[in-house]
Amino acid sequence: MQRMSATARTVYPRGEAPRWVSLWQRLDPRQESPEGDALLVRMALLCSVPIMLAHGVVALVYGHSAMLTPGGFIDMPGACAWLAATGSFALTLAAVDWLMAEDRTARQSQPRSITTTHTIWRAPGQPLRQVELKTTLPPVPPSTTGRQRLRAGCLIVAGIACASALAGRALLALGLDAFARPVIAFASRAEWPLWPLQMTWPWLLQFARDDFVLGLIVIGVALFFLSQVLSWRKVRGAWLPLALIAPVLVALSHLGSAAYDFAAARGLGGLRDADLLTALASDPGRHNFYTFLSLSVAIGCVAVVLPLCYLACRGTTLSDD
């Protein structure tokens, strides 16, 4: 059986296609590929690991955190931030364990073979010749009991930590400040978690202009209506352009917001925002964390959301066929 490259129309024997051709065949939205789906999920999970780990570390450094809910991000000060950081660390450990288990399963799922030597005798005490026989054995499935327990424990710890943080935040909203103390921040004014804004903020400020943000909104709305029209006309892959471009638009908007919050609060480039100056002076940990949050959301949109959106629209494209 042979495979053909969709671009160069070159026929390659199975297993001999170049790496980029093999990768495209797995990710091609026009054909079904369980390997491609698994690759996209693995890519998104792999990129989410450093983001979740960074959220936990930054929450400890700044003494503030935020939790995403259906109503948006909720501020988590004090002990709530430490609980949210515990949840982030637990989810990171669960994701790393899942990735390592997938690698181990892929290595151990290969079929094994043994070679045995048999002697053919002409007569007792007179060997004629020896024959080697190669026997292929089925793969031995790895034991996953311990790994599943570790992942389940991490998810339970994360759920308890997040629920406790939300309960503490609800008590804060009711006027009980038990969870607001202690506000333990290792370095609330540290700027190293905001790298590389120290060097890139002059260029990223272009994304914070009102006309640029308005243009992003117009492009997003136009893409939505275009995809809707194409979907009504039963065009294959109608939502694929929106799925690929919308996360990039959101990422550009958050990059501009992070650059503006970083520069305007420090009076860089002639920018002076009274509210941001006051926020940085009165509560530097909270302001720096939300600047980091804008930066991490931009990275997450490209590194995590984009592959998942492509996977979702790829499945819709195949189901339309």
Lowest mean pLDDT among 13-17, 62-66, 146-150: 13-17
In a domain, 280, yes or no: yes
- How many separate domains does the chain show? 1
pTM: predicted TM-score of the whole model, two decimal places: 0.79
In a domain, 44, yes or no: no
Structural domain span for residue 262: 188-321
Q: Report if residue 278 sits inside a domain.
A: yes
**Of 105, 92, 104, 107, whose CA–CA distance to 151 is shortest?**
92
> Does residue 14 belong to any structural domain of this protein?
no
Identify whether 261 is part of a domain: yes
Query: Which whole number is the average pLDDT over 50-60?
Result: 95
Q: Residue 248 falls within a domain, yes or no?
A: yes
104 domain residue, yes or no: no
pLDDT at 307 over 70: yes
**What is the pLDDT at residue 261?**
94
pLDDT of residue 146: 59
Comparing 129 with 290, the larger pLDDT belongs to 290
Q: Let me know if residue 89 belongs to a domain.
A: no
Find out whether 208 and 271 touch, Cβ atoms under 8 Å. no
Q: What is the mean pLDDT of the chain?
A: 81
Q: Is the pLDDT of residue 6 over 50?
A: no
